[in-house]
Amino acid sequence: LAASRVGLTRGAIPRRVAPTHRAPLVLATATANTGAAAATSPPLSTFAARVDAATATLFGAEPTARVRRAWARLDAGEEHESVLSDHPLMIQRASSYIDGLSVHPWHEPATKHKWAKKLEASWTVVRDELKSALADEDALHALGNNVWAGAKNQTSASAYGQDWRTLALCDRTVWDETNSALFPRTCELLHKAKVPLVEAFFAKMPPRSVIGPHSDMCNFALTAHLGVQVPENKCHLSVGDGTRTWADGRAMLFDTSVLHEARNDADETRYILMMRVYHPELSGVERKALQFIFDCLDEPELLADPIALAEYPERRAMVEAASRQSWERALDG
């Protein structure tokens, strides 16, 4: 993930800057050989070792062992790959890889999760808010932050195409101050539905376009889509050996560490609400440990601030609550 200042070591909560599109959720550089993680983890860099030690101290060595092993492998530059079947897309690739998580290309039905069922039941809230914003694209670009951002680097551009664009609402559980205020009802729906959200953004795919086979290189987060403005029966997503068709109001949940590809065969743009959500087999402690590692990457001085470390859970909760204020005020207004 691209670095994005959080403000855990300072009193103020700064504006969250929406990242341009990148391969999602790759941890970045990686943790210390502490406790249960030490047995099968490679040696760590100095920074990674400090992160590992702090993670074990804050959340416990044993409960965070899998996360810290993943961090160590990432720091060593290791990449996981497994062939799931003889289908050309049935390959899992991940540089951010937590062992022991089951791999299924499709998690179906998505609505077995209460949050997905709630999104489908209220999908028109999202549609109407996006439709209103798209009615005046000039105003949207003038008021928004990194509106319809393109690929950040050549790797992402090669996978997604130059014309695949995103509009960020939430990044690593913190709401974008500017964009969330433009889509307050969508943000409220995501919050009230209790989506196990890591990030959320609108994504548009241009007419007659294709996204080639690729992996998002992370197995501890699944990807969810909610169709918002989709040409009927013209837009298809293949993950592993299964292909599905996007539809308005339909939620889909799948594992993008498995090779996947997409196509829009219509003469119209396809719009979806896209979410990264934690793999359901991660424990609550593991999710907190992952968030802490993200914050150390964003704000390395956190590791040198004993007060901030001691108060980390409270400060993290305050950051998230403060970031909600932008869209909450927009609702009240």
| d(C-alpha 202, C-alpha 221), whole Å | 18
Helix (H, G, I), strand (E, B) or coil at 179: helix
Count CB neighbours of 112 within 10 A: 11
* Local confidence band at 8 (pLDDT 50, 70, 90 cut-offs): confident
- List, for residues 45-87, the tens digit of each pLDDT value: 899 999 999 999 999 999 999 999 999 999 999 999 999 999 9
Mean pLDDT of 174-180: 97
Residues forming beta bridges with residue 254, ordered by sequence position: 106, 223
Crossing angle of the two packed helices 184-192 and 123-134, in degrees rounded to 10:
160
CA R_g for the chain: 19
- List, for residues 266-321, the tens digit of each pLDDT value: 999 999 999 999 999 999 999 999 999 999 999 999 999 999 999 999 999 999 99
| d(C-alpha 320, C-alpha 191), whole Å | 11
Count CB neighbours of 192 within 10 A: 11
Locate the DSSP E strands across the chain. 80-83, 91-96, 165-171, 174-175, 197-205, 209-214, 217-218, 221-229, 235-239, 242-245, 251-254, 260-264, 270-278
The dihedral region occupied by 128, where left means phi > 0, alpha psi between -120 and 50, and beta the remainder, is: alpha
Residues forming beta bridges with residue 52, ordered by sequence position: none
| d(C-alpha 32, C-alpha 69), whole Å | 9
DSSP 8-class letter at 248: T
